Structure 1
Amino acid sequence: NTQKDLLKVELDQLQCHFTWAPQRENIDLDNMKQRLEDSIHLDMQYKATSYNQLAFVNCLQGKYVEAIQNLEEAEKLLRENHEDEFDERIIITYGNYAWVYYHMGQLTEAQSYLDKLERICKQFPDASRYTAMIPAVSGEKGWLLLNSGVQYYNEAMECFEMAQKKYPNNIDWNVGYAIVLSRLEGLSGATESADSRNSVNQWRRVLELDPNDAEAMVQLALKLQVFRQYEDANTLVKQALEKSPGLPYVLRYAAKLYRRARNIEKALTLLDKALKMTPKSAFLYHQKGMCYKYKIQTLKKSQGSKGSGKIDTLINDCKECFKKALELKPSFILAELGYAHICSINGEYCEAEDIYSKLLELENTCPENKQEIRFQFGLFEQNYKHSQSNAIKYFLEGFKIKHDSNSRNNCRTHLEKIAKNPQDIVAFCICGIIHMLDGEECFEKILEIELGDAE
């Protein structure tokens, strides 16, 4: 036991997936595993990175033999593709080997990888005995955090920034940095602000380094669409589809662009094509559900009850897509909210309310999800239950979560619409809470009394 304890002290000093690891309960391991396997199967650019992450997931699931096989594949790829910088790139893989063998109880094997790391780290001036925080290590850490969930995006961004400082022309770190900037902007609700130009510039930088990167083209196209540069966005997405018509990541983001542009049939065609290649993608099923939801809402507006037969079929198709997304990724809150919304449209209010109530109780989820749950529940109360007091309650709950996001902005916008009458005591209280959060308690007490009287 003493040998194992001493070895654990040394392993804890490593820079690798097992020491960076986000809390296990914050990761949907099955979904992460599926995404990594899809990435490897489709021969994506970052196979060694994917194999290292897959080894980590397999080890967490107690599949140690598979984890070692994953690391062997990663090592082989690094030897083949990065011979000149093999020692820099292998640090993380060797660290992961040591941890997996430790979990297997093979302490001698674990120690042998620490010995290898010690020999490698002597080359780097600022290295400690077993590890070196060099750009290759920072970048790999960024990829793991980026794949682990929204709560780790800021830290992932810092890792890519650190990696870029020394190697500003490295395509891997530039792509990672562009992805994390885009995601953070989307979450913050700053999609049309000056700040969101950062990701536009970063995607342009990626295309300078690799003009044939079809995924970068379609990601830049999505950003330009937000800035209403529709012609440039359409040109880029067409180029991307010409260059990589069989790449699911290009198809999925091109579909998103066409869905936003209300070209729903084109979006559905691309999503179906992508699903043939990655049939276990929860993201693709969710996007397909969103397309059907738009078709349902459009048909209801244009045809009303005349289109009821078509609408019923679309509702069933839509529900099936959201259900499939949830089956593949049970923690997919946006798919669950999508399903609840379709139940509302279909008059299944009890089922919708049950879903919203269950989601309200979630503690271990990011602020953006908590805000979106409350925003959607507020809309349900306002539009389907016709209870303004409950709608205000949930919009306020979402707005009070102090985290910049689209969902928080939406809560605020709906509260401001309700509060248009300055002579109304409810409107006065809402305005007070929005503009004077410091005086929140006082306004809330008055509002509580007024809403209670109104019901």
Structure 2
Amino acid sequence: MSDQEKDLLKVKLDWLQCHFTWAPQKENIDLDNMKQRSEDSIQLDVKYRATSYNQLAFVNCLQGNCEEAIQNLQEAEKILRENHEDEFEKRIIVTYGNRAWVNYHMGQLTEAQSYLDKLERICQQFPDASRYTAMIPEVYGEKGWALLSSAAQYYEDAMECFKKALEEDPDNTEWIFGYATVLFRLEWFSGTPESHGPSEAMKQLRRVLELDPDHTVAMVLLALKLQQFNQKEEALKFIEEALQKSPDLPYVLRYAATFYRKEGDVEKAVELLKKGLEITPNSTFLHSQIGACYRTKLYEPMNSPGSRGPRNAALQQRAELIKLCKLHFQNALENRPLTSIKPHLDFAGICSLNGEYRKTKEIYNHLLTLDGIRPENKQAICLQAGLFQLNHIKSESNATAHFLEGMKVNYDSIEQKRCRENLEMIAARCLRQNPRDSKALGVYGFLHQLDGERCEAIKCFEKALEFDPDNETYLRALCELRLSIEADNDCPNKN
């Protein structure tokens, strides 16, 4: 095949709908973690094994394990032939697209072209299809799972894919469960539209159980939503039923453990999580949850009246719990720079609690450099780093800088609100002590500017410049505000 033919082949491959054209590439995802989760899913999940094999093939190819990727795709094709004989050609489009890409990466260009030819023949039966792909529910659904499995910043895209799949196939349990899962996750993010108002995830999870009463993962997710809305009696029934029907399914164990931890039954939660860890020993999520359980226990002896004194048994228990927290949080974050923000923050919190301030600073410094993460994660990093500077290092100026950085992330979340509350508290205290504090006046100027109160912001920045006349940040902000007012002509010009 000539270079020109190879270039043309690459153009055709870019037209495909498959993991190689959907998912964020190597530099944006945690390949090792995705590989482990895919392997766990293949081992444990009978329903979606073909999807997991496709995901695993994509990861193996990116890691240079192309022969393994071919084997993964052969397994996916075998499963689809066995389980979806009547709709095999609809289901195989993504797998054949992945196969063409893997063959291309291996330099097997004739083989890659042969899979393009297969796709062309398949797509001829769909009226709205392009030459090599058809945007049908099966393709949208597969894309939804791929994006849902990659990184949190792609959840909104995954949600749209499941919605598209359901437009043509509204009673498909697989797509409804995918849609419910992504809604469930988005509703936990405080700044998303899905987090406000009634829970759409709850509605969709109930729909899954109407169609499939034995879907135990849907049961435990629904139980967590019911718990969130204080419907605990019904929630407990779902938890107990799910554990009875699927006592060895890690997905059920992990979510049931979350339920019990939130109910205050930490011992039961740890018992379930350890059982899950025996089945999937490399699960970072389980390690993170066990660490959270030990952290909950940690505060019990710390706050008890008899916990003073170096020889008290409570102090020994505290030291042991800190050790266990650190162990599990560390296992949860190991080699996961982009997808483990919460375990990193959890680990930093335990280190600061234990007086390991140097280690805590290293973690925050690392997290503050990360790009490509969800906005509420960026805000959570700024918030926790600011609180560390404020409460442990006793540096109001550093704390203020972190809180301001969190506020500048344009995303309405609980984390952003807490950054603001701390900024207002610091600024008010500073002005009580010194009415000429330019930094505190600058903070108020920024907050007024953020709220769209331009005239009030101008007053604050002008006053701040009286005491810090060469501050470029305030001068620039003042200039921008005056120009915007002049353009809108909605505030009287100063004399």
TM range (shorter): over 0.9
Q: CA deviation at 1:242?
A: 1.3
Question: 2-side partners of 1:40 and 1:53: how far apart?
Answer: 10
Q: How does 1:10-409 map to 2 (within 5 A)?
A: 10-189=12-191, 194-302=196-304, 303-305=306-308, 306=312, 307-327=314-334, 329-331=336-338, 332-409=340-417
Question: 2-side partners of 1:365 and 1:442: how far apart?
Answer: 35
TM-score, length basis structure 1 = 0.92
SS at match of 1:36: helix
Residues 40 and 50 in structure 1, CA contact (< 8 A), matched pair in contact too: yes
Question: 1-side partners of 2:333 and 2:401: how far apart?
Answer: 28
Question: 2-side partners of 1:99 and 1:192: how far apart?
Answer: 36
Q: CA deviation at 1:14?
A: 1.0
Q: CA deviation at 1:388?
A: 3.5
Question: 2-side partners of 1:48 and 1:223: how far apart?
Answer: 29
Residues 364 and 385 in structure 2, CA contact (< 8 A), matched pair in contact too: yes
Residues 422 and 428 in structure 1, CA contact (< 8 A), matched pair in contact too: no
What stretches of structure 2 of length at least 5 have no aligned partner? 469-495
Task: Kindly provide the CA deviation profile for residues 223-268 of structure 1, in whole angstroms up to 9, marking residues without a partner as x.
Answer: 1111122222222211111111111001001111111222111111
Q: 1:405 to 1:447 in 2, by over 3 A?
A: farther
Q: CA deviation at 1:435?
A: 5.0
Q: Which amino acid in structure 1 is aligned with residue 219 of structure 2?
A: M
Q: CA deviation at 1:443?
A: 4.8
Q: 1:252 to 1:19 in 2, by over 3 A?
A: same
Residues 189 and 409 in structure 1, CA contact (< 8 A), matched pair in contact too: no
Q: 1:248 to 1:205 in 2, by over 3 A?
A: same
Q: 1:2 to 1:190 in 2, by over 3 A?
A: closer
Identity of aligned residues (%): 57
Comparing 190-199 and 385-394, the one that deviates more: 190-199
Residues 186 and 194 in structure 2, CA contact (< 8 A), matched pair in contact too: no
Q: 1:428 to 1:240 in 2, by over 3 A?
A: farther
Residues 187 and 195 in structure 2, CA contact (< 8 A), matched pair in contact too: no
TM-score, length basis structure 2 = 0.85
Question: 2-side partners of 1:175 and 1:260: how far apart?
Answer: 24
Question: 1-side partners of 2:464 and 2:315: how far apart?
Answer: 41
Question: 2-side partners of 1:232 and 1:372: how far apart?
Answer: 32
Q: 1:279 to 1:436 in 2, by over 3 A?
A: same
What stretches of structure 1 of length at least 5 have no aligned partner? 451-455
Q: CA deviation at 1:350?
A: 1.9
Q: 1:109 to 1:158 in 2, by over 3 A?
A: same
Question: 2-side partners of 1:107 and 1:408: how far apart?
Answer: 51
Residues 192 and 226 in structure 1, CA contact (< 8 A), matched pair in contact too: no
Paired position in structure 2 for 1:453: none
Q: 1:199 to 1:446 in 2, by over 3 A?
A: farther
Q: CA deviation at 1:420?
A: 6.8
Q: CA deviation at 1:43?
A: 3.3
Task: Kindly provide the CA deviation profile for residues 384-411 of structure 1, in whole angstroms up to 9, marking residues without a partner as x.
Answer: 2233443333222212211233322332
Q: Which amino acid in structure 1 is aligned with residue 331 of structure 2?
A: K
Q: Which amino acid in structure 1 is aligned with residue 408 of structure 2?
A: K
Q: CA deviation at 1:189?
A: 4.4
Residues 243 and 252 in structure 2, CA contact (< 8 A), matched pair in contact too: yes
Question: 1-side partners of 2:315 and 2:297: how far apart?
Answer: 13
Residues 145 and 155 in structure 1, CA contact (< 8 A), matched pair in contact too: yes
Q: 1:390 to 1:138 in 2, by over 3 A?
A: same
Question: 2-side partners of 1:286 and 1:113: how far apart?
Answer: 42
Q: Which amino acid in structure 2 is aligned with residue 125 of structure 1?
A: P
Residues 187 and 194 in structure 2, CA contact (< 8 A), matched pair in contact too: no
Quick one: higher RCO (CA 8 Å, sep 6+), 1 or 2? 1
Comparing 84-93 and 43-52, the one that deviates more: 43-52
Task: Kindly provide the CA deviation profile for residues 156-207 of structure 1, in whole angstroms up to 9, marking residues without a partner as x.
Answer: 1110000000101101110110111111121234699653511111111111
Task: Kindly provide the CA deviation profile for residues 25-44 of structure 1, in whole angstroms up to 9, marking residues without a partner as x.
Answer: 11100110000000001134
Larger radius of gyration: 2
Task: Kindly provide the CA deviation profile for residues 362-405 of structure 1, in whole angstroms up to 9, marking residues without a partner as x.
Answer: 23433222111111112212222233443333222212211233
Residues 190 and 196 in structure 1, CA contact (< 8 A), matched pair in contact too: no
Residues 48 and 77 in structure 1, CA contact (< 8 A), matched pair in contact too: yes
Comparing 231-240 and 214-223, the one that deviates more: 231-240
Residues 188 and 195 in structure 2, CA contact (< 8 A), matched pair in contact too: no
Residues 55 and 66 in structure 1, CA contact (< 8 A), matched pair in contact too: yes
Residues 57 and 70 in structure 2, CA contact (< 8 A), matched pair in contact too: yes
Q: Which amino acid in structure 2 is aligned with residue 244 of structure 1?
A: S
Q: 1:12 to 1:286 in 2, by over 3 A?
A: same
Q: Which amino acid in structure 1 is aligned with residue 384 of structure 2?
A: Q
Question: 2-side partners of 1:314 and 1:81: how far apart?
Answer: 48
Q: CA deviation at 1:347?
A: 1.2
Q: 1:232 to 1:55 in 2, by over 3 A?
A: same
